[in-house]
Amino acid sequence: MHEDLKMELFKDIEEEQPLTVSELTDYVKEILEGNFKSVYVVGEISGFKKAFPSGHSYFVIKDDDSQISCNLWSFRYNQINFKPEDGKRVLIRGSIRLYKLRGTYSIDVATIEEFGLGELQAKFEKLKKKLSEEGLFHEKYKKPLPDFPERIAIITSESGAVIEDFKKVASKRYPSVKLFLYPVMVQGKGSADSICSAIEKANRSQNDYDIIVIARGGGAIEDLWSFNEESVARSVFKSKIPIVSAVGHEIDFTICDFVADLRAPTPSAAAEMILPDSTELFRNLDLSQGNLHKYVKSRLRNLSETLDNIEKSYSFNKPNDIISEFSLRIDEIGDEIFGIISNRLKYLNQNLENTGKHLVNSFRSQNEKIRIYKRNFRELDSRLNHLIKERIKLIRSDINQKNKLLENLNPDTILRRGFTYITKNDIILSRKVNAEIKDYVKIHFSDGEVGAEIHDYN
């Protein structure tokens, strides 16, 4: 404050020299506007209104004991990044202006911003850094979610639209799932404790939940602050059941999102992310049946061609010395075929049974269709086993017949029946004209040979 002006004003008053209202107002205006060109004031907005067509805004900033009028010109209003409203706590920078006509003063606002958000953001970043360094956000702690959840606990407000939106999506995508609401306070004093208590209750073993969903609609950072509390973060981390965080809108991030096993941008999106689409499941089931039929037909055709090729092959018709080896090979091929087809059918049948278990409660009308699939698989399995057994039986019978034929044609077998043959110089004499008198020959029996000389027998 200008000391000379202050002393002059007090001097005039002390000397009882009266001042006009305008003079006193001018003195005060000069003191205020000269010494309070830039002030920072914190308070709550009240009576905010915007004048038309000028676009200027007028309001009062107040605390528990006092209030000051404020003027926010239209070009300043267009520069702020939030919507001024009654009840919002703000930080104002401006200068003092005294309205001479009425003798009242106000603040000519230069800048205005929400007060406290900077502190909350700093607190958020500090806790985020602390928990990250402890490892609470690490991927190795993220628990996998089941593909076909049957029981889901939802921690949210009982009166909000979140639970209804979740139910609507669930009934459309996966009607067999059972939802259990754990009503909690989602903002305000005691809300963090309420959320932690619900997480603890949902984790009790008798509940047997597959997934816990923590959900809330959108809001400002102070509205969502319960989900930024350290106690909530540690409760989420301690949960033995996978937790999905669906807090706020897509652009909102909370500490709860980082600790949870899965973050969903909205509560409705959470339902779509964790619940399978039953329509798509049945479509894939039909597609799998068609592919299975094609596979079995193709496999039967390949097996038939393989067996035909084996039957016609050179190896199959080789002499007696490879018949035994070939028989063993046929057994090995048969075992391989049985193993491949049986394993494939078992795998496909198991997949079908697993899928059926998850769908049977809500899609009873599909039971008959599933039973038909299973019966078809069993029939295909039986027919395939019968076909392979008959084919191998036929091959073995043919091998045995050829083996007997080779045995009958074996020279040793013929000799044992009383026949002999004669050789001269190790050459078989098959005709009389090849034998001459005095020739030395050998007579071969089944048990040995003797020498002889040819004489004229006429």
CATH of the domain at 196: 3.40.50.280
Q: Per-residue pLDDT for 258 more than 90?
A: yes
Give pLDDT, residue 367: 62
60 domain-assigned: yes
Q: What is the pLDDT of residues 115-134, one digit of tens each?
A: 766 667 778 889 999 999 99
Task: Give me the CATH number covering residue 337.
Answer: 1.20.58
Give pLDDT, residue 200: 95
Looking at per-residue confidence, does 200 or 324 come out higher?
Answer: 200
Looking at per-residue confidence, does 237 or 349 come out higher?
Answer: 237
Q: What is the pLDDT of residues 172-196, one digit of tens each?
A: 988 889 999 999 999 888 999 999 9
Confidence grade of residue 364 (pLDDT, cut at 50, 70, 90): low
Confidence grade of residue 7 (pLDDT, cut at 50, 70, 90): low
% of the chain surpassing 90 pLDDT:
26
Q: What is the pLDDT of residues 10-28, one digit of tens each?
A: 554 555 678 888 888 888 8
Domain's final residue, options 244, 274, 304: 274
Q: What is the pLDDT of residues 134-157, one digit of tens each?
A: 999 999 999 999 989 999 999 999
Domain's final residue, options 255, 274, 293: 274
Asked whether residue 88 falls in the same domain as residue 158, the answer is no
Order of strands, sheet of 262-263, starting from the edge strand that comes earlier in the sequence: 178-183, 151-156, 211-216, 243-247, 262-263
Question: For every residue of the chain, which 3-state class applies, written as one string?
Answer: CCHHHHHHHHHHHHCCCCCCHHHHHHHHHHHHHHHCCCEEEEEEEEEEEECCCCCCEEEEEECCCCEEEEEECHHHHCCCCCCCCCCCEEEEEEEEEEECCCCEEEEEEEEEEECCHHHHHHHHHHHHHHHHHHCCCCHHHCCCCCCCCCEEEEEECCCCCHHHHHHHHHHHHCCCCEEEEEECCCCCCCHHHHHHHHHHHHCCHHHCCCEEEEEECCCCCCCCHHHHCHHHHHHHHHCCCCEEEEECCCCCCCHHHHHCCEECCCHHHHHHHHCCCHHHHHHHHHHHHHHHHHHHHHHHHHHHHHHHHHHHCCHHHCCHHHHHHHHHHHHHHHHHHHHHHHHHHHHHHHHHHHHHHHHCCCCHHHHHHHHHHHHHHHHHHHHHHHHHHHHHHHHHHHHHHHHHHHHHHCHHHHHHCCCCEEEECCEECCCHHHCCCCCEEEEEECCEEEEEECCCCC
Asked whether residue 293 falls in the same domain as residue 181, the answer is no
Asked whether residue 305 falls in the same domain as residue 399, the answer is yes
Asked whether residue 241 falls in the same domain as residue 162, the answer is yes
Count of domains forming the chain: 4
**Residue 241 near residue 212, CB atoms below 8 Å:** yes
Give pLDDT, residue 201: 95
Cα of 381 vs its chain's centroid, Å: 35
Q: What is the pLDDT of residues 402-419, one digit of tens each?
A: 888 777 777 777 777 777
Cα of 132 vs its chain's centroid, Å: 23
Q: Per-residue pLDDT for 286 more than 90?
A: no
48-52, 128-132, 277-281, 449-453: which has the minimum mean pLDDT? 277-281
Give pLDDT, residue 310: 64
Give pLDDT, residue 322: 57
Give pLDDT, residue 390: 85
Asked whether residue 347 falls in the same domain as residue 403, the answer is yes
Q: Per-residue pLDDT for 370 more than 60?
A: yes
Asked whether residue 288 falls in the same domain as residue 392, the answer is yes
Confidence grade of residue 3 (pLDDT, cut at 50, 70, 90): low
Give pLDDT, residue 217: 86
% of the chain surpassing 70 pLDDT:
85
Cα(154)–Cα(212) distance, rounded to whole angstroms? 6
176 domain-assigned: yes
Give pLDDT, residue 130: 94
136 domain-assigned: no
Domain's final residue, options 239, 256, 274: 274
Asked whether residue 426 falls in the same domain as residue 348, the answer is no
Give pLDDT, residue 1: 42
Q: What is the mean pLDDT of the chain?
A: 82
Give pLDDT, residue 198: 95
123 domain-assigned: no
Asked whether residue 16 falls in the same domain as residue 81, the answer is yes
Q: Mean of the pLDDT values across residues 78-94?
A: 84
Give pLDDT, residue 152: 95
Asked whether residue 250 falls in the same domain as residue 328, the answer is no
The phi, psi pair for 417, rounded to 5°, reads -85, 5
Give pLDDT, residue 383: 83
Give pLDDT, residue 260: 95
| Top-confidence range, 235-244, 321-330, 417-426 | 235-244
Q: What is the pLDDT of residues 289-334, one digit of tens each?
A: 777 777 877 887 887 777 677 666 655 555 555 566 666 667 677 6
Looking at per-residue confidence, does 407 or 453 come out higher?
Answer: 453
Cα of 451 vs its chain's centroid, Å: 93
> How is residue 132 written in tokens?
């990250």
Task: Give me the CATH number covering residue 9.
Answer: 2.40.50.140
Asked whether residue 110 falls in the same domain as residue 75, the answer is yes
User: Which residue segment(s) compose the domain that 391 sits in?
Assistant: 278-409
